[in-house]
């Protein structure tokens, strides 16, 4: 995923004594020096009648052009929290020049009315990387989707329906692209029937572009000394939508619990069914996993998805205290990986996303006794994967253990699920979040899935001269100790019969993949007997194009599977996205990514 050339942090000048902040890029202020909060409340909250609508509409979606300092969002969040005690707020904001946290902290650090809201937002703010960033706030009641991208490209990439729009770009005379007819057509497309907009601008060409897009547009009195501003509405008939109450999830790994976690955060109580006697007993049950993004040298759906999932999952892991205090180091092994790394390092990514392995890193990890090249992901690191899965759901989620899925059939009330204990369950919505067994169902047997066994090897920390301080990736990977055990992995055993016991040969493969320089510098010199090592083996499932399957495969039948070896990165955000699809809420992933993850793409590819 080549770093877009336009993305940059905001260029600004400030006068905090007068509480003004000005964009040097557009030579315009972010909010009124008279009273920025009063202006925001008047132009956006009151003009869109949010006080009245928050009290009547439980689940509300607001979209915004220009996140700026986040003032509109913080005030909206505060108003929603005061008026709506049962529902959920989605707030989607597009920003091409995000401001750094230290500037925002100077604005809100002493703001007593917004302090609690700012403190939570500050802790959740993503790094200033391009793309889509999904933030769950207030225990999931408020979902903020920040899109760091050029406005027209961002709008075209996404599908959602906003109840209200805040059109808050800089002055139209200085930022004309934000107010173009093409942009307003996209805004109209992404507005719910009877949805509204408001903007401080009353410029003639802005109003004409809004009208040409299809909005009914009116002028009203502007804020204080400003003579006029514009408001409007999308005049069309509202559509009725299905309301679901019963959700059944097949699979208790990272995919299934991520879906359950997101449903629970939206006020639903799903049921998880798993063939094992507890959660995380399949591929999600390893002691450790490493998290880092798969950046691509050109802009692709796969690259954007990896980056979005990486940021989301890392934040969740840290919040749940299942992340070690380390980083991810990827060596330039084999040669093609080194070539790829050189291209990525030349593209100007933020150093907190990826940087070159330097001599200080080598001194810290290997006491300087190594001559390998590579890259470092400081935001990345090792997680306790099994613990991660178990912490995502609590006892309020019903779980049925020790039974396998035998068959599913359509039912007048949704789907009838037959289990191995002869029990039958009727559910409105059925979600397949399993891997094994999909080939045995008529609805999923067409997908031609690829199954690969993977074994990790466990080494006691006593075997090491120096304990690894970070996870290290090469042709395999090696983690810092968890419960005194270092994890080394993992094999990719294609077309092999399923086995549950640890293989000596697989242990030998994992040990042989460790580069000699690393092996000789951190592992003791005595020969390690692979036959005496413990480990863990599990089955992975993937697709022909290595993209996951996430979406609908029939009416009220959904799937999240084929995460391959990247479940601990992909699962949490894709689980949240699938729940948004099911509930017809803003998804937080662009259309190209959704098409690339569409499970039906696989069947279509074999029919062409």
Q: Could you report the per-residue pLDDT of 218-246, keeping only the tens digit for each?
A: 999 999 888 899 999 999 876 666 789 99
How much is the average pLDDT of 458-479? 92
Residues of the chain with CATH 3.50.50.60: 247-282+387-448+547-607
Q: Is 345 left (phi over 0), alpha (psi -120 to 50) or beta?
A: alpha
Check residue 479 and report its DSSP letter: -
Q: Given pLDDT bands bounded at 50, 70 and 90, which one contains residue 26?
A: very low
Q: Is the pLDDT of residue 605 over 70?
A: no
Q: Which helix (H) or strand (E) holds 603?
A: helix 600-607
Q: Is the pLDDT of residue 17 over 50?
A: no
Q: Given pLDDT bands bounded at 50, 70 and 90, which one contains residue 604?
A: low
Q: What is the pLDDT of residue 255?
A: 97
Q: Is the pLDDT of residue 327 over 90?
A: yes
State percent of the chain over pLDDT 90: 72
Candidate from 166-180, 182-196, 389-403 with smallest mean pLDDT: 166-180
Q: Is the pLDDT of residue 14 over 50?
A: no
CATH class of 247-282+387-448+547-607: alpha beta
Check residue 550 and report its DSSP letter: E
State percent of the chain over pLDDT 70: 91
Q: What is the pLDDT of residue 574?
A: 98
User: What's domain 12-233's superfamily in CATH?
Assistant: Vaccinia Virus protein VP39 (3.40.50.150)
How much is the average pLDDT of 396-405? 95
Q: What is the pLDDT of residue 296?
A: 94
133 SS3 class? strand
Residues of the chain with CATH 3.30.9.10: 450-542
Q: Is the pLDDT of residue 3 over 60?
A: no
Q: Is the peptide bond before 94 cis (omega within 30 degrees of 0)?
A: no
Q: Is the pLDDT of residue 308 over 90?
A: yes
Q: Is the pLDDT of residue 203 over 60?
A: yes
Mean pLDDT of all residues belonging to the chain: 90
Its pTM stands at: 0.92
**pLDDT tens track for 373-391:** 999 999 999 999 999 999 9
Q: Is the pLDDT of residue 24 over 50?
A: yes
- Structure-token match 């059944």, residue found: 248
Q: What is the pLDDT of residue 19?
A: 53
Burial code (b: 16+ CB inside 10 Å, e: under 16) for 343-382 equals ebeeeebeeebbeebeeebbeebbeeebebebbbbbbbbb
**pLDDT tens track for 246-270:** 999 999 999 999 999 999 999 999 9
Q: Which residues, including other chains, have CB under 8 Å from residue 62's CB and lie 6 or more apart?
A: 48, 76, 89, 90, 91, 92, 162, 163, 164, 165, 166
Q: What is the pLDDT of residue 29?
A: 54
Q: Given pLDDT bands bounded at 50, 70 and 90, which one contains residue 31?
A: low
The answer to whether 229 touches 198, Cβ cutoff 8 Å, is yes
The CA angle 297-299-302, to the nearest 5 degrees, is 90
d(CA 3, CA 484): 39
Note the CATH architecture for domain 450-542.
Answer: 2-Layer Sandwich (3.30)
Residues of the chain with CATH 3.40.50.150: 12-233
Q: Which of these, 544, 605, 598, lies nearest to 159 by C-alpha position? A: 598
Q: For 472, phi and psi rounded to 5 degrees?
A: -125, 125
d(CA 501, CA 398): 31
Q: Is the pLDDT of residue 556 over 90?
A: yes
Question: How distant, in Å, are the alpha carbons of 90, 444, 570, 581, 605 from that of 543?
Answer: 32, 12, 14, 21, 12
d(CA 469, CA 194): 56
Q: What is the pLDDT of residue 189?
A: 97
Q: Is the pLDDT of residue 143 over 50?
A: yes
How much is the average pLDDT of 170-193? 86
Question: How distant, in Å, are the alpha carbons of 323, 336, 354 from that of 376?
Answer: 17, 17, 6
Q: Which helix (H) or strand (E) holds 456?
A: strand 450-460
Helical ranges in 481-561 per DSSP H: 504-512, 516-522
């Amino acid at each position: 995923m080549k770093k877009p050339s336009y993305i940059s942090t905001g260029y600004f000048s400030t006068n905090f004594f007068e509480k003004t902040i000005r964009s040097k890029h557009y030579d315009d202020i972010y909010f009124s020096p008279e009273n920025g909060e009063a202006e925001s409340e008047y132009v956006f909250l009151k003009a869109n009648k949010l006080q009245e609508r928050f009290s009547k509409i439980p689940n509300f979606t607001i979209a915004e052009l220009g996140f700026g300092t986040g003032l509109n969002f913080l005030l909206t969040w505060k108003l929603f929290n005061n008026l709506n005690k049962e529902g959920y707020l989605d707030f989607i904001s597009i920003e091409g020049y995000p401001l750094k946290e230290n500037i925002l902290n100077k604005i809100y650090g002493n703001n007593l009315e917004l302090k609690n809201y700012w403190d939570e937002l500050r802790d959740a703010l993503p790094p200033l990387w391009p793309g889509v960033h999904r933030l769950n706030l207030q225990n999931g009641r408020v979902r903020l989707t920040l899109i760091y991208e050029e406005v027209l490209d961002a709008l075209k990439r996404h599908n959602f329906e906003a109840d209200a729009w805040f059109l808050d770009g800089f002055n139209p005379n200085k930022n004309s692209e934000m107010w173009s007819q093409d942009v307003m057509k996209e805004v109209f497309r992404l507005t719910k029937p009877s949805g509204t907009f408001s903007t401080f601008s009353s410029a003639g060409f802005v109003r004409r572009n809004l009208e040409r897009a299809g909005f009914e547009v009116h002028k009203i009195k502007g804020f204080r000394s400003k003579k006029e501003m514009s408001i409007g509405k999308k005049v069309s008939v509202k559509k009725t939508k299905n309301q679901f109450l019963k959700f059944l999830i097949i699979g208790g790994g990272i995919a299934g619990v991520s879906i359950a976690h997101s449903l629970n955060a939206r006020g639903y109580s799903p049921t998880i069914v798993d063939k094992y006697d507890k959660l995380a007993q399949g591929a999600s049950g390893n002691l450790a996993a490493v998290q880092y993004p798969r950046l691509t040298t050109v802009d692709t759906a796969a690259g954007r998805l990896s980056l979005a999932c990486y940021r989301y999952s890392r934040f969740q892991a840290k919040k749940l205290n299942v992340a070690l205090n380390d980083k991810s180091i990827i060596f330039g092994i084999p040669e093609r990986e080194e070539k790829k790394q050189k291209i990525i390092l030349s593209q100007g990514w933020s150093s907190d996303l990826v940087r070159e392995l330097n001599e200080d890193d080598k001194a810290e990890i290997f006491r300087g006794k190594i001559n390998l090249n590579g890259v470092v992901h400081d935001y990345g690191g090792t997680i306790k994967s099994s613990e991660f899965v178990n912490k995502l759901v609590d006892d309020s989620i019903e779980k049925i253990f020790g039974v396998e899925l035998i068959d599913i059939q359509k039912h007048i009330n949704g789907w009838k699920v037959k289990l191995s204990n002869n029990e039958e369950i009727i559910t409105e919505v059925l979600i397949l979040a399993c891997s094994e067994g999909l080939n045995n169902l008529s609805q999923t047997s067409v997908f031609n899935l690829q199954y690969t066994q993977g074994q990790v090897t466990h080494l006691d920390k006593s075997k090491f001269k120096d304990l690894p301080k970070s996870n290290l990736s090469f042709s395999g990977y090696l983690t810092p100790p968890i419960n005194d055990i270092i994890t080394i992995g993992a094999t990719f055993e294609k077309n092999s019969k399923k086995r549950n016991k640890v293989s000596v040969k697989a242990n030998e493969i994992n040990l042989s993949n460790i580069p000699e320089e690393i092996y000789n510098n951190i592992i003791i010199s005595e020969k390690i007997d692979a036959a005496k090592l413990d480990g863990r083996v599990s089955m992975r499932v993937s697709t022909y194009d290595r993209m996951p399957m996430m979406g609908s495969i029939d009416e009220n039948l959904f799937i999240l599977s084929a995460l391959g070896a990247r479940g601990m990165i992909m699962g949490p955000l894709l689980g949240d996205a699938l729940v948004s699809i099911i509930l017809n809420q803003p998804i937080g992933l662009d259309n190209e990514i959704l098409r690339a993850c569409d499970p039906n793409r696989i069947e279509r590819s074999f029919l062409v």
